[in-house]
Structure formats: C-alpha cells, structure tokens
Amino acid sequence: MFGVVPKSIWNKLQPADEKNLCTWALRCLLIEDNNRLILIDTGIGNKQDSKFFSHYYLHGEATLENSLAKRGFHPNDITDVFLTHLHFDHVGGAIVKKGEKLVPAFSNAVYWSNQKHWDHAIKPNAREKASFLSDNILPIQESGQLKFIESSKFTENINVRTVSGHTESMMLPEIRYRNRTIIYMADLLPSISHLPLPYIMAYDIEPLKTLEEKKGFLKQAAEEDYILFFEHDPKFECCTIQETDKGLREKDTFRLEEL
C-alpha cells in the first residue's frame, strides 16, 4: 500500500498485523441530487470464493445493504452507480449472485464508467489482471445497465476529474455541497497517510504520473479549500489541506455529516 516507503516508516502510520495485513476501509458515498440517488463505488462485495477472501480478510459489521437500510434506502432505490474504476475493491459490490446467475445488485440503476477505463479493464495488463475480475465487470454490460460518461459534467452538482497514474482514466467525483467542494479521492489518495508525495501504492501502473497528479491536486486543494473524502482510510473520513514545513498535509479532520 505504500510502495517504496520502508515498512519501518509506514508501519507507524498504519500498523500491520502478524500476517503483514493492514486494516483499510471500503467507504462508499451516497448522494441525493434532486431526483437521483447516486452511489459512488460499491466496495468489495461478498460473492468471491474462499480462496479469494483468504487473501483479503473482511472484518467489521458494515455491509453496503445494511448501511443503506440505516438511512432508509433499499438497493432498488439507487438510480445511478458511479464507479471510479473497476478494481475489485471498488466494483465488487456492484454485482451479486442469485442462484447460479451474476446480476446487478442495483436493478434500477444506471452503472457509469468511461470508455477508456472500460477497455483497459476488460483486456487487463499482467500487472492489474488480479484486480480486474470478470465476474465484477462483464455482467454490468450484459445487463444493459452500463453507460459511459463522456464529459466532465456528470450532474449539475457533480463534476468529474480524471487521473491515470493508479489505473487508466480513474474518475474522481467533485461534489458541490453547501458552497464547498468535496472530492471523492478513490485511489489517488487512499488515506491521510498517503498525503506525502512519495507515498504511492505499488498497485499504481504509473507511479511517477501519480506523483505529478498528487502534487497538482494537493496544491489546488489547499488553495481552494477542498474537502477530501477518503475511501480507504480506516480512521479519517475527511480532511482539508494546508501548507506545512513538511509540505502539504491535513489541516482539519472530520466526518462529512459534521457539515
């Protein structure tokens, strides 16, 4: 998760267990935007086999369906599923098993990707092949519910920023809410611990591109007082950015509901 950074350094930030595994969140975001109910990413899901889950040990009580229910919603209420990218921990919950069939978990929703990323995911390179699982991806197209985003404007209140260091054409939603801009960080910045520029995941296909994307983004985030919403940070949901003697770092940390 930290690439070239030595474990002796990163382990102070995200302590690993005896199996060398760290705890990470799979934090999705639900947006009510006029008459649309938009879900950003879907987590890892639970349909993979025991061998798969022996590598990724799920723990905790949260599930996507239960989290929706706590807020008074059902999967059938979702109108749009916005997939930042198609790695298994972001799209796994988009498809469920019903008997022997793989079907969309959100039967009334449009599923959104983009053409460049889709083409990249269905013919993966050897480095990313284990992250792009056909059971998570192809049933979306087969259902007829797949559409591609073709501009930087998704809704009146949501713009789309595209970055390609982590994977080809990953999409970051930029959400206007109460006169603030909230950026859903996906895997450009998985956590607060990844704010230092060299802290880049070994998963990234072009780490030097990620470096430049992070540098430009963090400068803009500090100047424009963006709120960063972290998908994978186990502790911190949101932060703002400030210049420090160590570079651009977190300023305030908080939960989105505090807005």
For residue 29, give the nearest of 61, 64, 56, 57 by alpha carbon. 64
**Percent of the chain whose predicted confidence (pLDDT) is above 70:** 100
- pLDDT at position 188 is 98
pLDDT digit string, tens, across residues 12-58:
999 999 989 999 999 999 999 999 999 999 999 989 888 888 888 88
60: pLDDT strictly greater than 90: no
When pLDDT is cut at 50, 70 and 90, the band that residue 88 belongs to is: very high
Dihedral in degrees, nearest 10, Cα atoms 113, 119, 65, 30: -20
The domains of the chain, with CATH numbers, are: 7-15+23-258 (3.60.15.10)
Phi then psi for 171, rounded to 5 degrees?
Answer: -105, 130
DSSP 8-class letter at 125: -
Cβ atoms of residues 253 and 192 within 8 Å? yes
CA 51 to chain CA centroid, Å, is 24
Are 195 and 206 in contact, with CB atoms under 8 Å apart? no
What pLDDT, on the 0 to 100 scale, is given for residue 201? 98
CB atoms within 10 A of CB 29: 17
Pairing of strands 101-104, 95-98: antiparallel
Predicted confidence at residue 56, as pLDDT, reads: 85
Q: Return d(Cα 151, Cα 54) in angstroms, integer.
A: 39
Confidence (pLDDT) at 54: 86
Q: What is the pLDDT of residues 199-234, one digit of tens each?
A: 999 999 999 999 999 999 999 999 999 999 999 999
What pLDDT is recorded for position 55?
87
pLDDT in tens, 117-159: 999 999 999 999 999 999 999 999 999 999 999 999 999 999 9
Give the residue among 116, 131, 118 at the shortest CA–CA distance from 204: 131
**Prediction pTM value:** 0.96
pLDDT band at 61 (very low <50, low <70, confident <90, very high): confident
Roughly what angle, to the nearest 10 degrees, separates helices 134-142 and 115-122?
130
Across the range 75-102, mean pLDDT stands at 97
- For residues 161 and 172, the answer to whether their CB atoms sit within 8 Å is yes
Quick check: 59 pLDDT over 90? no
Distance CA 241, CA 250 (A): 5
Mean pLDDT across the chain, nearest whole number? 96
SS3 253: strand
Q: Give residues with Cβ within 8 angstroms of 188, minimum separation 6.
A: 163, 165, 166, 170, 172, 210, 213, 214, 217
Name the pLDDT band for 73 (thresholds 50, 70, 90). Answer: very high
What pLDDT does residue 76 have?
97
pLDDT score of 137: 97
